[in-house]
Amino acid sequence: MTPVKGVMTFGPTKGHERREVPLPRFLIEELARHVEDKSAADLVFIGERGAVMRSQTFQRAVLTRAAAELGIPGFHPHELRHTAASLAIASGADIKIVQQMLGHKSAVMTLDQYGHLFGDRLDIVADAMDAARTSALAGGYPVGTGGEAVELRRDAK
């Protein structure tokens, strides 16, 4: 939804790219309860009068008050996007996944914005390499950080 001359209009994203956002299971369950009585054509979230909820209205009516009560005055809705990216990175998402999630044209753009969050992960990489070696010496396949088997390929470049 984008305001065009004061009218909320359905249309493509700013970059005309499809965006996918991962939802944790607990949030899927909450959203399922929220939409159980809605049709596929209904909006998931609506404004006070039953129409499209504008981000400025949400900020003014809900977010600003909630943030102030939590002791973080001046919080802006766009900061939720940064929080989502930071949580994805902290959860182990690689840069291409974060790029896709944010709708960035390139991973370089994502790294320019969030690269500083990847810098302190060298210990995680070292631990994963150590676990892969231990597994290989035991005759098993190396494992990834999530415990999944990792295929080793001689022709990988």
Q: One digit per residue, pLDDT tens: the chain, 157 residues?
A: 777 887 888 888 767 767 777 888 899 999 999 999 999 989 888 887 888 888 788 888 888 889 999 998 888 878 888 888 988 888 888 889 999 888 888 999 998 888 887 766 678 778 888 888 887 777 766 556 555 556 655 554 4
- Identify the pLDDT of residue 155: 55
CA atoms within a 13 Å half-sphere pointing along the CA-CB vector of 48: 6
Query: How far is 55 from 53, CA to CA, in rounded Å?
Result: 6
- Identify the pLDDT of residue 47: 81
Of 40, 38, 46, give the one whose Cα is nearest residue 8.
46
Helix (H) or strand (E) holding 8: strand 7-9
- Identify the pLDDT of residue 50: 82
The first and second tokens of residue 1, run together, are 């939804």
- pTM higher than 0.75, yes or no? no
> SS3 of 2, please?
strand
> SS3 of 74, please?
coil
Residue 22, Cβ neighbours under 10 Å: how many?
13
- Identify the pLDDT of residue 153: 55
Residue entry with tokens 């998931």: 44
- Identify the pLDDT of residue 150: 60
Contact indicator for 143, 131 with CB cutoff of 8 Å? yes
